[in-house]
Amino acid sequence: MATKNEPPKNNQKGPLSFDDLSASDLIRGTTPVDIKARCLTVCRSYLAGSWLSATEEDIEVTRITGGLTNQIYRVKLLKTDESVKRELCTDVAIKFYLPKLVANFNAEDGERLNDTIILTILSELGIHPRVFGIFKDGFVQEYVEHHQFGPEHQKQPELLRIVAHLMAKVHSLQVPIRKNLDALTSAMGRHIDEAYEDGRMELIKELNLK
């Protein structure tokens, strides 16, 4: 589960140099300057209803988590009355896939297609938050208030029992995806081969590593 974090402080427009980046930027990736507009476009497309007339001033966007390959944002529709709340979901989470992943995995690996299939099945079974839309660069889903499952929760037998039952349900699903897919190992192998080819593995020889 994702934990809430404050967005990076750097709001500078235009290209950034290394010196411009904070520690949070380096670890979690920079937040796009047009993130509000992007989130609003997604919500208008997949949630419709009152989202269609919303402007950037009508929404609150908060960076939840994510790094150099994925970023997740909470998007909340402000000033909603009870009729609007009954009409649609006014609090959602949007996950954006970042370009770095595309460079690391070949299209034929089907990594994102598998994610989409699994995501849809878990949503329909009620194991995962409701998914409202899936698009090329990510997906939008219901936002659920939660705590990260940490050591303090692992000490509670009742919570462990619930998690164990959910995990068993997930692992017993018959999911229509390739069973021999190992995109991460393949990507690592490609990078190692490239490193040997262009001489970046000299340190291995210097340290006599096997």
3-state secondary structure 147-168: CCCCHHHHCCHHHHHHHHHHHH
Q: Exposure of 176 by Cβ count < 10 A (0-12 exposed, 13-18 middle, 19+ buried)?
A: exposed
- Rounded CA-CA distance 96/136 in Å is 9
- Beta strands 59-66 and 131-135 are unpaired
pLDDT band at 85 (very low <50, low <70, confident <90, very high): low
Minimal CA–CA distance to 107: which of 12, 10, 187? 187
Give me the mean pLDDT over the 49-54 stretch. 88
Domains identified in the chain, total number: 1
Q: Is residue 173 part of a domain?
A: no
pLDDT band at 148 (very low <50, low <70, confident <90, very high): confident
What's the pLDDT tens digit per position in 12-35?
Answer: 444 545 566 666 666 667 888 999
At 110, list the tokens: 């089907």
Q: What pLDDT sits at residue 48?
A: 81
Q: What pLDDT sits at residue 13?
A: 46
Q: What pLDDT sits at residue 83?
A: 63
Q: Is residue 81 part of a domain?
A: yes
- Rounded CA-CA distance 98/137 in Å is 8
Q: Is residue 210 part of a domain?
A: no
High-pLDDT (> 70) share of the chain, %? 75
Give me the mean pLDDT over the 123-128 stretch. 91
CATH number at residue 64: 3.30.200.20
Q: What pLDDT sits at residue 166?
A: 92
- Rounded CA-CA distance 91/78 in Å is 9
Q: Is residue 129 part of a domain?
A: yes
Q: Is residue 174 part of a domain?
A: no
Q: What pLDDT sits at residue 68?
A: 65
Average pLDDT, the chain: 80
Say whether 182 sits in a helix, a strand or coil. coil
Q: Is residue 115 part of a domain?
A: yes
Q: Is residue 155 part of a domain?
A: no
- Which residue segment(s) compose the domain that 42 sits in? 18-150
Question: Could you tell me which residues come within 8 angstroms of residue 47 by beta carbon, excluding any fewer than 6 positions away?
Answer: 88, 89, 92, 132, 133, 140
What's the pLDDT tens digit per position in 99-110?
Answer: 654 444 444 456
